[in-house]
């Protein structure tokens, strides 16, 4: 066997285990789910082909519009979380004594499970919780607020928890990015008289753009697919104000047993994620040294 | 050489025959999987004893007991049915039973249980899980709610602890007084989600027309009832997380000593005692403040048999054993328990009228008295989840000011009627 063909074969053999896993746990469910969206299926009775009916139905379904609007609103968390984690990464990107402890501390929420985080923040957001206590002590609010019981603020309260938990994760990505930027670029800009802010916006951020693309992409997908925090903290309430697409898919699939309809919703959600991903690529495509 | 060969062959044949006959006569073991809702750890010994008794009396049957949390039971059951590994007997409440029966996944127990056995249960309870004319659950136990009140908060509010509110109206007045005088909330009314349906029915306000084909919960009386609670909500007379946290929130708040009154099944005394002995010590018990309908929603627990069970007959037999007079009576008599049997003979036992010290005794006597007006008021409708969701949205619309109570109920009735 020629050497070239042999090395190609070896490369494929190395890929095979990963491809096998992807085929079983990703490709097959994606294809199965897409096909399922054309059927009516309640787990107990055999599936019945209904064609595009599920997709027509969702256009007239008010809960679909509520859910997709809430999911789209949730994407607002992305710029905030990215900016926050870049600033955090800049803060911990120093050679100080004990900086490792700070980095680890910021990472603790990332490795804490959602049920624990959800329950902890539910207590903190309680009328007699620590959030109200702090805000009242600072005279920011006159009377305790039920952060998870008001339709106008609950979504944002849950978004804050998402941000709190995710900051450390993105901070690590940006920390890697910052450490990959040669110090000479920033030093050269400072020798040329640029202020710290100018260096940050004109040197650090452009060079970080490939990392921003990666982190924003992951963050946007996570925001559109948000589920755990909503499930643990609000179950979609009050008054459907936190009823996101994944909550709706979950309800349709496992409460109402409309597996086909849930699959149709999931297909639409995948399309929405695709649109947001394209936007991310368009915005952050140019980055690194290509920026200049 | 030939002789030993013949002898060996004969011996082999004999062994094979003996083993075959033994195999034919040996009892076949049937394993039944039995799922309960949140009975561990308080009732572990009782259920294990029940299983041991049954296995002793039925040598060919093994029972595998699985205890599941209330929040997980429905999904776990559906996943098990879909996966082809359903339990044989499963403990469900009426709402879950009807929802799963609607999918055609449960055994029709009107057909599977002989009439003589059915007659042992209260007729109203046997019919509690009826959907489209067929019953899908064997009634197991029932717990009519009672009123727990914090005597300390009552005294601070100037209320008489020996004369707790007797009606819903009096309870609302007491709740106002507690809030006005102590700043603590007086109650968390059970109006979250679909519980307002029970309150309507307890007040003689029907949800459906007599033939069950039309929603009728938008009359001026229904609107006035909802308006009353919307006004209390706006006046901050109950916590604004009431709609989100429901009775779990109420139990937590009461256990922390921050709520004047609590309406729950008497079995919750155990939870209060465990989480805060101080509040337990201050807890007095009174009858459930009845609405105008003179009927009380009492949650019924039933035993259902999935259609996909491979041992339906044995499963029904075991479910009847679990819910027979002796076993239900023993269950009700466990220390600290305040549950009631669903069979007439067991419920007539003098034990339920016994007097003693401690709120458990009082709660038991009160709840026993309430049994005559207790019924599971779960509204049984097709497309239950969807209709319930609409109702919940309407109620929340009214509370959060998105619609007036009249607009909200009118809208929900229209949506229901379009689907009924």
Tell me which chain A residue has its CA closest to the CA of residue B306: A44
Residue A13 lies inside a defined structural domain of this protein: no
DSSP B342: S
First-to-final CA distance of chain A: 47
Instruction: Give the number of A-B residue pairs with CB atoms closer than 8 Å.
Output: 57
Residue A170 DSSP label: H
In terms of residue numbers, what domain contains A120?
Answer: 62-291
In 10 A of CB B221, how many CB atoms? 14
Helix/strand/coil for B134: strand
- H or E element in which residue A152 lies: none
Q: Which of A115, A88, A230 is nearest to A169 (CA)?
A: A88
Does residue A58 contact residue A265 with C-beta atoms inside 8 Å?
Answer: yes
The token pair at B174 is: 């007491």
Q: Look at A239 and B244 and tell me if their CB atoms are within 8 Å.
A: no
Interatomic CA distance for residues B135 and B98, integer angstroms: 9
3-state class of B215 per DSSP?
A: strand
pLDDT of residue B8: 63
CB-CB neighbors (< 8 A) of B74 in chain A: 255
CA distance B192 to chain A (A): 10
What torsion do the CA atoms of B20, B26, B29, B30 make, to the nearest 10 degrees? 90
Give dist(CA B257, CA B239) in Å, integer.
14
What is the structure's pLDDT at B373?
A: 80
Tokens of A283: 């915005």
Q: Is B389 an 8 Å CB contact of chain A?
A: yes
Decide if pLDDT at B354 tops 80: no
Cα–Cα distance measured from residue B304 to residue B315, given in angstroms and rounded to the nearest whole number: 9
Q: Which residues of A touch B (CB under 8 A)?
A: 42-45, 63, 126-128, 146, 148-151, 234, 237-240, 251, 254-257
Mean pLDDT calculated for residue range B283-294:
88
| Predicted pLDDT at B34 | 97
Span A141-155, mean pLDDT? 89
Q: What is the pLDDT of residues B162-190, one digit of tens each?
A: 999 999 999 999 999 999 999 999 999 99
Residue A20: the pLDDT is 94
| Nearest-Cα residue of chain A relative to residue B403 | A239
What's the angle, vertex CA B373, arms to CA B370 and CA B376, rounded to 5?
Answer: 105
Question: For B3-61, what is each residue's pLDDT tens digit?
Answer: 455 566 666 666 655 555 554 555 578 999 999 998 888 889 999 999 999 999 999 89
Q: Dmax of chain A from CA atoms?
A: 81
In this prediction the pTM is 0.80
Residue A238 with chain B: CB contacts under 8 Å:
243-244, 396, 400
* Average pLDDT over chain B, rounded to an integer: 88
Residue B417 has phi, psi (to 5 degrees) of -65, -30
- Residue B112 CA to residue B115 CA, distance in Å, equals 9
**Which residue in the set A44, A127, A146 is minimally distant from B105, CB to CB?**
A44
Residue A46 lies in a domain: no
How many of the other CB atoms lie within 10 Å of CB of B140? 24
Q: How many domains does chain A have?
A: 1
Q: Answer whether B287's CB lies under 8 Å from B370's CB.
A: yes
CB contact under 8 A, A45 and B104: yes
**Percentage helix, strand, coil for chain B under 3-state DSSP, each rounded to 5:** 55, 15, 30
CATH number at residue A242: 1.10.3720.10
Q: Is A153 part of a structural domain of the chain?
A: yes
Query: Residue A26 falls within a domain, yes or no?
Result: no
* B104–chain A nearest CA distance, Å: 8
In the numeric block, the tokens 């919750």 are attached to: B268
Q: What is the pLDDT of residues A47-96, one digit of tens each?
A: 999 999 999 999 999 999 999 999 999 999 999 999 999 999 998 888 77
Low-confidence winner among B168-172, B196-200, B358-362 (lowest mean pLDDT): B358-362
Q: Is B225 exposed, middle or buried (0-12, 13-18, 19+ CB in 10 A)?
A: buried
**B78, B84 Cβ separation under 8 angstroms:** no
Average pLDDT over residues B233-259: 88
Whether residue A155 has pLDDT greater than 60:
yes
Kindly give, in sequence order, each residue whose CB lies less than 8 Å from that of residue A38, ignoring residues fewer than 6 positions away.
A49, A50, A51, A52, A54, A260
3-state secondary structure of B32: strand
In chain B, the N- to C-terminal Cα span, in Å, equals 86
Instruction: Give ipTM to 2 decimals.
Output: 0.76
Classify residue B350 as exposed, middle or buried by CB count within 10 Å of its CB (0-12, 13-18, 19+). Answer: exposed
Question: Does the structure show a pLDDT above 90 at B221?
Answer: yes
How far, in Å, CA of A17 to CA of A10, rounded? Answer: 12
pLDDT for res A2: 81
- For chain B, the maximum distance between any two Cα atoms, rounded to a whole number of angstroms, is 107
Is it true that the peptide bond before B219 is cis, omega within 30 degrees of 0? no
Dump pLDDT digits (tens) for B76-94. 898 888 888 999 999 999 8
- Res B1 pLDDT > 50: no
The pLDDT assigned to B26 comes to: 55
How many whole angstroms separate alpha carbon A257 and alpha carbon A204?
Answer: 50
Do residues B215 and B208 touch, judged by C-beta distance below 8 A? yes
> Using CA atoms, how far apart are residues B349 and B399, in angstroms rounded to an integer?
45
Contacts of B257 in chain A (CB under 8 A): none
Which tens digit of pLDDT belongs to each residue from A271-285? 999 999 999 888 887
Whether A137 is covered by a domain: the verdict is yes
Q: Please give the pLDDT value at position B17.
A: 56
What's the rounded mean pLDDT across residues B375-392? 88
Ordered structural domains, chain B, with CATH: 30-142+299-367 (3.40.190.10), 146-297+377-419 (3.40.190.10)
Residue A258 belongs to a domain: yes
- Rounded to whole angstroms, the Cα distance separating B307 from B287 reads 40
Both tokens of A216, joined, read: 């924003």
Tokens for B387?
A: 């209709």
The label of the residue with tokens 């009380």 reads: B296
- pLDDT at position B220: 96
Chain centroid, CA B158 distance in Å: 35
> What is the C-alpha separation between B352 and B365, in angstroms, rounded?
6
Residue A45: its chain B contacts at CB < 8 A?
Answer: 103-104
For the cut 60, the answer to whether the pLDDT of residue A236 exceeds it is: yes
DSSP for A88-138, written as a single string: HHHHH-S--TTHHHHHHHHHHHHHS-HHHHHHHHHHHTSTTSHHHHHHHHT
What pLDDT was estimated at residue B365?
82
pLDDT at B359: 81
* Helices assigned H by DSSP within B165-311: 168-182, 195-202, 220-234, 242-255, 268-275, 277-282
A32 inside domain: no
Cross-chain residue pair B81–A63, CB shorter than 8 Å: no
Average pLDDT of B228-242?
A: 92
Cα A69 to chain centroid distance, Å, stands at 16
The pLDDT > 70 percentage for chain A reads 98
Q: Which two tokens stand for residue B301?
A: 């627990």
The reply to whether B279 touches chain A by the CB within 8 Å rule is: no
3-state helix, strand, coil in chain A (%, to 5): 75, 0, 25
Torsion of CA B175, B176, B181, B184, to 10 degrees: 50
Length of chain B: 420
Query: Average pLDDT in the A184-196 region?
Result: 87
> Is A110 inside any structural domain?
yes
Model confidence at B418, pLDDT cuts 50, 70, 90, reads: very high
More confident: A291 or A253: A253
Closest Cα in chain A, distance from residue B219 (Å) = 23
**What is the nearest CA distance from A6 to chain B, expressed in angstroms?**
44
Q: What is the pLDDT of residues A109-132, one digit of tens each?
A: 999 999 999 999 999 998 888 999
Q: Of B240, B386, B396, which has the smallest distance from its Cβ to A256's Cβ?
A: B386
Q: What is the mean pLDDT of chain A?
A: 90
Retrieve residue B147's tokens.
């009123």
């Amino acid at each position: 066997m020629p050497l070239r063909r042999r090395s190609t074969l070896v490369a494929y053999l190395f890929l095979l285990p990963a491809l096998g896993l992807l085929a079983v746990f990703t490709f097959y469910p994606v294809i199965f789910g897409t096909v399922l969206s054309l059927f009516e299926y309640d787990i107990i009775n055999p599936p019945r082909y209904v064609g595009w009916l599920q997709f027509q139905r969702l256009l007239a379904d008010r809960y679909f519009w509520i859910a997709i609007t809430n999911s789209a609103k949730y994407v607002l968390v992305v710029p905030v979380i990215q900016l926050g984690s870049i600033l955090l990464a800049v803060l911990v990107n120093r050679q100080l004594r004990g900086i490792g402890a700070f980095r680890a501390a910021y990472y603790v929420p990332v490795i804490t499970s959602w049920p624990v985080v959800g329950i902890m923040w539910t207590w903190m957001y309680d009328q007699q919780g620590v959030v109200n206590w702090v805000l009242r002590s600072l005279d920011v609010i006159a009377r305790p607020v039920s952060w998870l019981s008001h339709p106008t603020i609950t979504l944002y309260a849950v978004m804050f928890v998402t941000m709190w938990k995710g900051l450390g994760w993105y901070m690590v990505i940006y920390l890697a990015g910052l450490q990959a930027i040669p110090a000479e670029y920033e030093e050269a800009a400072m020798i040329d008289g640029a202020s710290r802010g100018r260096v940050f916006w004109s040197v650090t951020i452009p060079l970080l753009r490939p990392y921003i693309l990666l982190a924003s992409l992951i963050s946007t997908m996570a925001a559109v697919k948000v589920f755990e925090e909503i499930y643990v903290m609000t179950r979609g309430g009050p008054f459907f104000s936190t009823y996101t697409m994944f909550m709706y898919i979950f309800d349709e699939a496992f409460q109402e047993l409309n597996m086909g309809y849930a699959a149709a919703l999931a297909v639409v959600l995948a399309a929405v994620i695709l649109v947001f991903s394209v936007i991310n690529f368009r915005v952050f495509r140019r980055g690194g040294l290509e920026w200049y | 050489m030939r002789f030993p060969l013949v002898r060996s062959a004969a011996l082999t044949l004999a062994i094979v025959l003996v083993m075959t006959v033994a195999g034919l006569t040996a009892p076949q073991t049937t394993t039944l999987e039995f799922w309960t809702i949140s009975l561990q750890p308080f009732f572990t010994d009782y259920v294990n004893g029940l299983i041991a008794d049954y296995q002793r009396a039925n040598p060919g049957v093994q029972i595998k007991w699985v205890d599941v949390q209330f929040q997980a039971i429905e999904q776990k059951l559906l996943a098990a049915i879909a996966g082809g590994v359903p339990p044989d007997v499963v403990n469900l409440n009426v709402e879950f039973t009807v929802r799963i029966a609607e999918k055609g996944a449960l055994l029709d127990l009107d057909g599977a249980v002989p009439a003589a056995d059915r007659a042992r249960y209260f007729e109203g309870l046997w019919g509690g899980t009826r959907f489209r004319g067929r019953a899908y659950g064997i009634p197991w136990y029932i717990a009519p709610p009672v009123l727990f009140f914090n005597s300390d908060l009552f005294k601070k509010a100037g209320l008489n602890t020996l004369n707790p509110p007797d009606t819903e109206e009096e309870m609302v007045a007491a709740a106002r007084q507690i809030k006005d005088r102590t700043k603590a909330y007086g109650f968390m009314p059970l109006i979250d989600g679909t519980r307002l349906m029970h309150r309507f029915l307890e007040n003689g306000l029907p949800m459906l027309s007599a033939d069950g084909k039309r929603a009728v919960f938008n009359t001026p009386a229904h609107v006035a009832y909802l308006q009353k609670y919307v006004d209390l909500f706006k006046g901050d007379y109950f916590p604004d997380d009431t709609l989100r946290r429901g009775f779990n929130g109420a139990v937590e708040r009461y256990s922390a000593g921050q709520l004047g009154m609590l309406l729950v099944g008497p079995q919750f005394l155990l939870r209060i005692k465990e989480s805060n002995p101080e509040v337990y010590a201050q807890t007095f018990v009174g009858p459930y403040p009845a609405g105008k309908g003179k009927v009380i929603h009492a949650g019924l627990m039933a035993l259902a048999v999935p259609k996909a069970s491979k041992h339906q007959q044995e499963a029904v037999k075991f479910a009847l054993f679990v819910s027979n007079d002796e076993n239900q009576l023993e269950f009700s008599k466990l220390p600290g328990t305040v549950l009631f049997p669903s069979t007439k003979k067991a419920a007539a036992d003098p034990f339920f009228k016994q007097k003693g010290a401690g709120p458990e005794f009082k709660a038991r006597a009160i709840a026993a008295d309430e049994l005559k007006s207790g019924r599971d008021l779960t509204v049984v409708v097709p497309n239950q989840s969807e209709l319930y969701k609409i109702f919940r949205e309407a109620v929340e619309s009214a509370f959060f000011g998105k619609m007036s109570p009249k607009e909200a109920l009118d809208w929900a009735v229209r949506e229901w009627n379009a689907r009924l």
